[in-house]
Structures are given as C-alpha cells and as structure tokens.
Structure 1
Amino acid sequence: MDSSIENFVGRSIPGDMAKRAQNRRSVALVAATSLGLAGGYTALFAGTTGVFLLPIAQSLDIGRGTAASCMALASLGLAVSSPVAGRLMDRYGYQRVIGVSIICFVIGLLLLAAGPLTTTALGIKAFLLGLLGVATSPVGYLPILAYAFERRVGLAFGIASIGAGIGAALAPLFTGWMIRHYDWQTAYLLLAAIAAVIGFVAHMMLRRIPTQARNADASANAKSPNSLTGDTPKTAFTNPRFWLIGLCVALIAAVGLGSIVHVPALLSDNGVSPEMAAAGAAFSAIGLTMGRFLVGLLLDLIPARVLASTVFLLGGCGVALLGSATHETPYLQLALGAMLTGMLIGAEGDLVPFFVKRYFGLKNFGAIYGVLISLFCLGTMFGPALYGLAFDRFHSYNLVMVTAGIVCVACALGILMIGAYRYPDPHQAARA
C-alpha cells in the first residue's frame, strides 16, 4: 500500500476506534475457536467415550479393556496425523485444514453408528476418526490463538477452551439419555448432526473475521518467515527440555483420560445409579473446563512449569480420592475426585501450546506442537486401555489408581526441571 494512503487511513481512523476494531476481531477469533472446540473431537468423541464404553462392550460381548482399546485407536490416529496437520497449517493456513477435518469428523461419527458391529471394524473406524478429524481438536484451533495473541495468550487459550469443556460436560449427559432411551448407535448419529451444525457455524465465523486476523498464522509463516523467532524442528527435537515436557505430557494424558473414561464404570462398580454414573463423566468434564480456564488465566501470571506442577499434584489427589472409593464413599467425594482428574486433561490443553510458544518459539510452531500433541495422544490412547486391562485382570481399579497417583507426583517434580522460558513475552521483558 502507498505510504500516503497508509497515512490517510491512519489519520482517518482514531486510535481508540482502531483499538476497538482490533478488540472485536480478537473476541470474534476466541469465540469462533471456542465454538469449534465445543463441536469437535475433544468434546463430542473423547468427552463421551466413557459413557459409550459399557454399552459398546455389552453390545459386542467383549471386556472393558478390549472396548477401551478399540476406542483408544482414535488417539493413535490423532497422534499420527497431528505433526502432519501442524505442518499443513504452517504452510497453507488453518482455515482449509480445519474445514476438511470438520467434514471428515462428521463422517467418522456416522461410521461409528453404521456398518458391521465387530471389534475390528470399531477399531478401524475409531482410528480413521482420529486420523482425519485431527483439526477439530485443539491441534487445529489453539495454534490460531498462539499466532494472533502475544499478551494474554494464556487467557485466550483458557477462554477458547471453555467451549470444549462445556461441550464435554453436556455431551455425556445428552449421550447417556439417548443411550437409555434409544441405543448407542442412535446417540452417535445425533452427535454427528451436532458436530456438523457447530462445525459449520464455527468455520463460517472464522471466514468472516477480517483477513489480517484470520490469516495471521499463514501470512506470518509464508510471507515473512524472518519476522518470527523460534527453533527449527531439528533443534527443538534435540533439546532435552522437549522430551522432558513430552514425557510428562504423555504420562499425565494417560492418567487423566484413563480416569475420565473409566469414571462411569468405576462409579457403577461402587453402586451408583446409571444416571449418576453418567453425571460422573460430566463432573470430569467440569473439571476439564475449570482446568482450561483457570490455567489459561494464570499462565500469564505464574511460570508455566510451576503451574503445571501444581495441577499435576492436584490431579494426583483426585486419583487418590477415586482410588480409595468404596460403596460407602459419599458421592460428592467421588465427584471431587472426578473433577480433579478432569483438570489434568483440561490444563494440558492450555499448557502444551504455551510450552511450545515460550520454550521453542513461533517460527515452526505447528510442526513442534504437532509432535507434542502426538505424544499427548499416545498417552490418551494407552491410558484408557491400560485401565481397562488392569480391571479385566484384577477385577478392580485399585492397582492402576495407585500407579496413576505415583505418576502424577513424579511428573509434578519432573516438569520443574525444564527451567525458565527461552522465548519470554517481549512486553513483559520491556516492562522489566
């Protein structure tokens, strides 16, 4: 643009009006990503897996471990495709990748409700849903905010992730009601319809955001690569910090999702009614929502490694509450345990992109974030399966819950070893 025109435009729009316009774009961006997460993989599939676990196991006449393993193949698909999705978004921008992924996610939910009812078919369909629906998860939506925000990026993550938390809180209740009154296949059909509507609205909202906000990530990488600082993927992957973060992320993901998926079954084993057991999954989702919002709010105020350590210890307390439950345990205590373990997954949703931005920079954010999310997904894949296999072997969740508590404490200590930020907020540095 000609400089005289730029000067004219700059003078014709008062500073406060320009600031309000930018604020409106920021609010629209956060709202669109929040809505997208509410209708995506995390809320509608991962958030409801625990409610579907027992009906699917009974329908196919298989054990909980086998059913959980089949459903967990969705996490394997997510792990495989996350680095690829990250690179595609770095190169082409997020809008195209998310649009295609929404369509694939809806088709994946429809396939779960149709076709042959065998363990092999279930596993293949779950794998394809995770593989192709990857960008409807935080993998697709949170990088948008990482590029668009510098100050208050943690708050932006937290607010946007509320959508996933609300979706994950309401979806189990709705799904449980549908399964009780109809069947689990019908429940998946309706979830597919919900995903299609919400995904379409979120995608249209992203399209209508002004170009400079909507394409911040694509233009920054494709047009001005030198304007962003950060490690190359090779440098990041040879940094011990990366693998320490990745190990903690994977282990905590295994504990968090393993507990969330098996909470309804654990509560049923303790004599809780099916309605209240489904509500247990909703309490986990409430904890997930609280974790995302509170951690996002505090990330701008407290060093991420300290905050992560605190959350991991609180999650360990939640695991202890669930693991020590008996038939006489008050339901509120079980609900608190479910909420604290749900916080583990919610907190990691904000912590992982924040770790990437502050420890490895933005220049290759998508590629580095994608690999960390792959490790996260491997944890979410093995966690529910191991919980189920432990129950099938020992007819109790006691041993696996004790192990999970020990893992939480070990990760709380390990994450403190990553040290100070390597790419701090320049605004905070200037104020210092």
Structure 2
Amino acid sequence: MRSAILLLATSLGLAGGYTSLFAGTTGVFLLPIASSLGSGRAVASTCLAMASLGLALGAPIAGKLMDRYGAYRVIAWSLALFVASFLLICVGPATPLLIGFKTFVIGLLGVATSPVGYLPILARSFERRTGFAFGVASIGAGIGAASAPWVARWAMTRYGWEQAYAVLGVLAAVMGVAALLLLRVDRQATLPIPAASRGGKHGPSNSLRESLAEPRFWIISISIAIVAAVGLGSIVHIPALLTDKGLSANQAVAGAAFSAIGLTIGRFGAGVLLDIVPARVVACGAFLLGAVGGLILATSSHNPSYALLATGAALTGMLVGAEGDLMPFLVKRYFGLSSFGSVYGVMISLFCLGTLGGPILFGIAFDRLQSYTPVMMFASAACVVSAFAITLIGPYRYPR
C-alpha cells in the first residue's frame, strides 16, 4: 500500500512540476512570445531556454541538499519558489532580458519539482523493480505534459500569455501540495540516501569524485546531453514546424500533445524494459527511434499526412521520455546510491545544457535558413552517433 501511495505521490508531483508545466508548454508559448517581443524565433527560444540553464545550475545543488537533508524538505521549498516564479512572469514589461531572467529563475528554483527531486525517492525505495517504478511514475508526468499545452492554450486565449503562466503556477501549487501530503505517508523514503543505506543494504557505492573520474560517466552524460539537445529542440519547435507545414494552430497544439504522449510511452516503456534488458541496449534503441522521428519531421513536405507528422512528434517525445528513466537508472546501476543525489544532479546539469542549446540552435537554424529540414537531418545523425557511443559503457557495476 505504501509503495502505491509513493508512486501516486511522485506521479502527481511530476505532473504538477517543472517538466510538465514549464518544459511541456514551451512550444505553445514560443510564437506568442516571439510576437510580443517583435523578434525571431531564435530570440524567443533563447528566452525560454534560459530555464534549462537555471536547471543546470540548480540540479547539482539540489542533489547535494537531498543527500544531506532528504528529498521532502528540498521539494517543499522548491515547490514554493517554483510557484512564486511562475507568478513573477506577470510582473514587468516583456523584454528579452527580463523574460530570459524570469525563466532562468523558474528553472533554478523549481529544480526539485522535476525528476531531480522525485526520482531519487523511487531509486531509494524500489530495489528490484526500479525501472518499473520509474515507468509508473512517468504516467502522471506524461498526463500532465499532454494536458498542460491545452490548459496553457486555453488560458492564453482567455487572459494572454503572461497570465497563462500564472494559471499554470496555481495548478503547480495545488498538485505539488497534494504530492507532499501523500509523501508524508512514507517519510522513510525521503530520508537522506546515505543515512538510509547505512548497514550495507545497497552495497558499496561510488562517491561523487569517483564517479566523475570514470570514463563511462562522461560517455553516458555527453551522449544523453546531445540527444537532449535534439529532443527538446525538436519538441519546442514542433508547433511552429507544423504551422509552417500548413496546419492550423489547434493542430499544432495537438502536435505538442502527441509529443507528450510519446514522452509518456517512452518513459513507461523504457522503465519496464530497464528491469529486463541492459540499459545500454534500451538507450541505443531509444536514440535510434529519435533519429527516425527527426527524419520524418525533416522530410515531410508541405501539407503532408497529419498522421505521419504526429508519428514523428510522438517518436521525438519517446526519445525525451526514455532519457528521463535512463539517467537515474544508469546512475543507480553504475555508480550506486550513497551519493545518488549528487551524481544524478551533475548528470542532469549536463543534460540541461543540452536542453538549453537545442532550442536555441533550432531557432537560429530556422531564422537563417527559413526551414527546419537541415537542422532536423543533422539532429537525426547526432542521435545515431549517440546510440553507438552508449553501447560502449559495459555491464552494470551495481546490478542489485
């Protein structure tokens, strides 16, 4: 029963956190922000991508704090600041510098409402079915990510894009508080990981320094960062890409929802497979599916089949979703649990640098070439290279 409540809490927290309510809606806000600023898509993409820089800086700090103080307190403080940061969007004029600063603050302060805060709880609590637990928790995150673009679109139409962020902030508060109340049922799961694992329950583990000294850490991190740039760059620009291909605004928003559905399938599917198949094989397959999705979006002509474009969007979402489960699972199996928060935080930081660069590069490529085709082709090739690289990390160091 406690395991089920823990899964429900993390699902609810992820659905009302940074990944679903901010990152999952950036594509919907891209064109309205560009229009408000009177700028190209590269400028608007950069403003939104500053949240990834904030997340990249905040993730190692949050990881360290969770290793020392436990997840519950870190998530609670992060949630309060995350909600306040959403409300901050409504204050002041809409300038590139100010919007970029505000989104940076959202990423920095809301970091523990993302998988950075919630997935270490599951890694600590589910010893043998870790991947399945990640997959189940991802269902809530996926539902949130699929629903959030529609909520944002409704609020934007009714109140304007700045106030739409305030609506999302209220939603984050309600769902986040509910998740925290459920987490109180099993406070043991939110203890600092080193304290909880004393006595050898989880066996030996790497320190942060030892993990950073291993080549496999950098192979994993760089491969995932490259694919993150491809995945989020594609997802942020999918609504604009679909509009350019002659689809209506509602169809473009639906495309973002298909990405979110793909994200859910990718996370749940990867989670289930990770308990059965070596993680490097799962990662390779996910990266290759992302390459196929990119090729579909790159090669579709004007007014193509909507089903084909939806498939491309879904495959791109699956790529990002699979990464969400792969990172914590790889950290647990290759580097252990005693410094899980710290190691995972650094890996997430590098992942976020990829998510920062991807949308910006896609925006620059479009502004210069007036087409997404070249950058999507390049992105697909990058996925193939990363798929090969991730197979080189070898067997698990901490299989159980």
TM more than 0.5: yes
Question: Residue 210 of structure 1: CA displacement?
Answer: 3.4
CA distance in 2 between counterparts of 1:99 and 1:343 reads: 29
Residue 158 of structure 2 corresponds to 181
**Per-residue CA shift, 1:15-41, capped at 9, x if unaligned?**
xxxxxxxxx111111110110000000
Q: How many residues align?
A: 400
CA distance in 2 between counterparts of 1:159 and 1:216 reads: 23
Residue 73 of structure 1 corresponds to 50
Question: Residue 359 of structure 1: CA displacement?
Answer: 0.6
TM-score of the pair, normalised by structure 2: 0.98
Question: Residue 227 of structure 1: CA displacement?
Answer: 6.1
Q: CA RMSD in A?
A: 1.3
CA distance in 2 between counterparts of 1:180 and 1:389 reads: 28
Residue 17 of structure 2 corresponds to 40
Aligned pairs for 1:257-268 (under 5 A) are: 257-268=232-243
Q: Of the candidates 83, 106, 118, which is equivalent to residue 95 of structure 2?
A: 118
- TM superposition outliers: structure 1 runs of 4+ over 4 Å: 223-228
Mean CA deviation greater in 47-56 or 322-331: 322-331
Question: Residue 216 of structure 1: CA displacement?
Answer: 6.8
Report if aligned partners of 2:41, 2:363 keep a CA contact under 8 Å in 1.
yes
Question: Residue 178 of structure 1: CA displacement?
Answer: 2.3
Whichever residue aligns with residue 301 of structure 1, its letter is I
Residue 282 of structure 1 corresponds to 257
Query: Is 1:373 equivalent to 2:351 in the alignment?
Result: no
Aligned pairs for 1:67-216 (under 5 A) are: 67-207=44-184, 209-215=185-191
Q: Of the candidates 262, 276, 283, which is equivalent to residue 301 of structure 1?
A: 276
Identical-pair percentage:
58
> What are structure 1's unaligned runs of at least 5 residues?
1-23, 426-432
Question: Residue 229 of structure 1: CA displacement?
Answer: 1.9
Aligned pairs for 1:357-368 (under 5 A) are: 357-368=332-343
Larger Rg: 1
TM-score of the pair, normalised by structure 1: 0.91
Residue 417 of structure 1 corresponds to 392
Residue 312 of structure 2 corresponds to 337
Report if aligned partners of 1:92, 1:218 keep a CA contact under 8 Å in 2.
no
CA distance in 2 between counterparts of 1:411 and 1:116 reads: 41
CA distance in 2 between counterparts of 1:210 and 1:383 reads: 38
Query: Is 1:356 equivalent to 2:331 in the alignment?
Result: yes
CA distance in 1 between counterparts of 2:300 and 2:202 reads: 54
Change (3 A) 1:276 1:395: same
CA distance in 1 between counterparts of 2:111 and 2:215 reads: 27
Question: Residue 233 of structure 1: CA displacement?
Answer: 1.1
> What are structure 2's unaligned runs of at least 5 residues?
none
Query: Is 1:397 equivalent to 2:397 in the alignment?
Result: no
Question: Residue 177 of structure 1: CA displacement?
Answer: 2.4
Q: Equivalent residue of 1:113, what SS?
A: coil
CA distance in 2 between counterparts of 1:204 and 1:279 reads: 33
Question: Residue 60 of structure 1: CA displacement?
Answer: 1.1
Query: Is 1:53 equivalent to 2:35 in the alignment?
Result: no
Report if aligned partners of 1:225, 1:363 keep a CA contact under 8 Å in 2.
no
Whichever residue aligns with residue 220 of structure 1, its letter is A
Question: Residue 111 of structure 1: CA displacement?
Answer: 1.0
Residue 219 of structure 1 corresponds to 195
CA distance in 1 between counterparts of 2:144 and 2:311 reads: 19
CA distance in 2 between counterparts of 1:197 and 1:235 reads: 40
Change (3 A) 1:119 1:224: farther
Question: Residue 278 of structure 1: CA displacement?
Answer: 0.6
Whichever residue aligns with residue 175 of structure 1, its letter is A
Whichever residue aligns with residue 342 of structure 1, its letter is G
Question: Residue 225 of structure 1: CA displacement?
Answer: 7.8
Whichever residue aligns with residue 150 of structure 1, its letter is E
CA distance in 1 between counterparts of 2:225 and 2:68 reads: 27
CA distance in 2 between counterparts of 1:113 and 1:283 reads: 29
